[in-house]
Structure 1
Amino acid sequence: MRVLLVDDHELVWKGTQRLCEGVARVSGSGGVLDFAAVRDLDSALALPDRAFDLVLLDYHLPGMSGLQALRAVQAAFEGAVVCMLSAECGSDSVREVLEAGAAGFIPKSYGEAEMSAALALVLRHKTYVPAEFLFAEDVVRDRSADEVRNEDLVLFLHNDLTPRQRQVLKLALQGLPNKIIARQLTIAEGTVKVHLSMVYRALGVRNRVGALCRVLQADAVAALG
């Protein structure tokens, strides 16, 4: 497992490496970890080898940071899972980062067990959402007459969505941008948007972040296959 940490606080490098070593031991990668750390985005983009499985990106970096840094890393490390780390966990920041396609937003205030669980989740190509954001329904919900009730959500996802809609939603909830979803499913990007728009309306949400929160709250991930 190859992991790159982009964080200007060198004191966290060894602790993060130790966490990743623990995750590697139980991830099916044979316990082998190739860990690298750099202080800023320029140093990351200057690396000659960009074949990483996971990039951990601090939200506040010197120079380019935040969403701008996230988009630059996504473009430069196309095959990697990109996860944001931050000492702050404001709802707006979490929503923006996840909507931009990050595989997760992990608060630096988390303990070792919570951090390890979050890292293990994103390495399984799932999206990690902080619990304090997940249950802040007023941030992501947009109730409408067509909204599916929470207790009916599993049946709705399993029975009422077409197989294509389930595929599109599943990939969207993994953080993949629409153009990558379209490429993987060999459909037009506009078709992806139409599928997602219909599902969002039924779920009573505005975007993929709201959809992710609803699916997780209802424990309905398995219904997507």
Structure 2
Amino acid sequence: MIDAVDTAGDQEERMISRGSTLLGTVLAVGAVVLLPGCGSSTGGDAKPVTTSTSAEASLAADAPNGYAPCNDVPQSVLDSEKLGMKIVANNDASGGVAWRGCRWVRPNGYSVSIRTTNLTVDLVRSRNFPEATEFTINGRRAISTRQFDGPFVKEACTVDVEMKGGSLEFNLNNPPSNRDTGSMDSCVLARELAEKVVPSLPATA
């Protein structure tokens, strides 16, 4: 990362980094895979989540470029959610998975990465992550999932919203110790945020 943030932000970045790398490895493996749960970047006690799938369809060469979250997420939305401390959060994982966007932190609240990715909604659904829930936002297919097992399973949630060639991903971390949002479900927060941001996506994206 290019800067330092508070404890919650650091924890979320470790979760994103490990989760992204693991999912990229999963895509490269194909048949029967083990997706370890998230802890710190140096390991943890989380139990693996086992998923079975056939080899994946080819991914787009890069994340969709019709929307640049670092610049295109409306400032009015960021202000309404008290999100600041923007940090670039681009990432590339094995298997060709790519993420392009930024991370924001709410003081005394959640942190979230909003990034385009070449992972599609269908591909995320095929992972069989826990608590997968499908819905639509502004006419686009979307899915929320718990992509981490173990002690972090409830405080993290990922929402992917359909784009051409991938999705717009909201990876939200909300530790219970956060005074403002810690008592709220992370998937509720992620979906509500996505519902505010997605209308700013161009129709062509």
State TM-score, norm by structure 1.
0.27
Q: Which has the higher strand share?
A: 2
